[in-house]
Amino acid sequence: MQFFATALAAVLAITTAYAAPRTLAAPTPHEYIAAEKGSKLVKREVGGVRVCTGIGFTGSCDYVVWPLNVCIALNDYAGHTLSFQPDADTECYLMQGRCNSNKVYADLYSDTPENSDLSGLPWIKQSESYLCLKPLDD
């Protein structure tokens, strides 16, 4: 009985070590933009996006706000982004390469139902960046 308990504890320790989630680097601009001093909270606003590694906004997720019209590197989310949702009044282009509009890209809005499952995009594993802007009013 003692052997069984020891073996079970060893298996659980190994399984727990492998199953522990790793922290991913959040998306950042390709060119550094200085943050405001003392700013620790991020207010949801135009330009904010939520990115996740799992379908349906599961897995590792981050919410970031960067200026509009700036190419943002997905960092550790590159090739692993399966859910992507811009804030209201924000349109984003999820792209391959460094904001390369010569390759196929996804045009995403906050209310696009496809945002929660990007696994159907054949090029999603090559996603490396995104660019957001405020949509033009009609």
Greater confidence, 94 or 115? Answer: 94
**Residue 113 in this model has a pLDDT that exceeds 80:** no
Residue 6 is assigned to a structural domain of this protein: no
Greater confidence, 121 or 1? Answer: 121
Number of domains making up the chain = 1
Residue 3 is assigned to a structural domain of this protein: no
Residue 101 is assigned to a structural domain of this protein: yes
Greater confidence, 97 or 13? Answer: 97
Residue 58 bridge partners (DSSP): 54
**Residue 5 in this model has a pLDDT that exceeds 50:** no
d(C-alpha 85, C-alpha 102), whole Å: 23
Range of the domain at 87: 24-133
**Residue 39 in this model has a pLDDT that exceeds 70:** no
What is the pTM (predicted TM-score) of this model?
A: 0.70
What integer pLDDT is reported at residue 137 of this predicted model?
A: 66
19-38 tens-digit pLDDT:
444 677 877 776 654 444 44
For the chain, strand residue ranges (E) read 28-29, 48-54, 58-65, 72-73, 83-86, 91-96, 106-109, 127-133
Residue 38 is assigned to a structural domain of this protein: yes
What integer pLDDT is reported at residue 27 of this predicted model?
A: 78
Residue 17 is assigned to a structural domain of this protein: no
Q: Output the domain CATH number for residue 73.
A: 2.60.20.10
